[in-house]
Amino acid sequence: MSTDQERFHAAISRFDAANAEDPSTETFQGQEYPKELLYAQRMSAWLAKLAPEASEVLRLAVRCQHIQRWTIPRHTYPMDRHGYLRWRTTLAKFHAETAGTILQEVGYDDVTITRVQSLLRKESLKRDSEVQCLEDVICLVFLESYVEVFATQHDEAKILDILQKTWKKMSPRGQEVAL
């Protein structure tokens, strides 16, 4: 195995170890998983389907997109749109910083770290193909694994609103795959 492969696998292992600390669990195919670890695995699986030739940077960003998300709970922000947006901005910064620390510790250079962080903050969405691919993967994971639970917790108007917003975030390729 080359040094680059070892470094990549070390980063993935560190991301997974961090997400394995999630106190919330989810049952999938009869087995309990830490919630954010399962989410990260689903993200990587969808990226492999959607963009099998994805760059190393995108594969890293996809795997740590929700790294340790549970440490900043939604309920610590006002339960309105403004509070939601503040929470999401805080999370994006936190995920970028946490990933950056891990990537630095396993030996990635500043250029790679900065690029992964940019993807995690979703900078230039709709103009940057890798940011758009990340967004497509996020949406596909939501549609495949989380929309049913979401639907049981919200009224029809909210469900339709979220589905429309999800669809608008996706590229034509992502929409095609979703169908």
pLDDT in the model for residue 149: 87
Model confidence at 150: pLDDT above 90: no
- Overall domain count for the chain: 1
Residue closest to 12 by CA, chosen among 71, 51, 64, 66? 64
pLDDT in tens, 5-62: 999 999 999 999 999 999 999 999 999 999 999 999 999 999 999 999 999 999 999 9
Length of the chain: 179
Which domain, by its residues, includes 72?
Answer: 3-178
Q: d(Cα 17, Cα 122) in Å, to the nearest integer?
A: 24
Q: d(Cα 66, Cα 92) in Å, to the nearest integer?
A: 8
- Angle, vertex CA 106, rays to CA 101 and CA 110, nearest 5: 60
pLDDT in tens, 87-142: 999 999 999 999 999 999 999 999 999 999 999 999 998 899 999 999 999 999 99
CB 173 within 8 A of CB 136: yes
At 85, list the tokens. 């947006």
What mean pLDDT, rounded, does the chain reach? 96
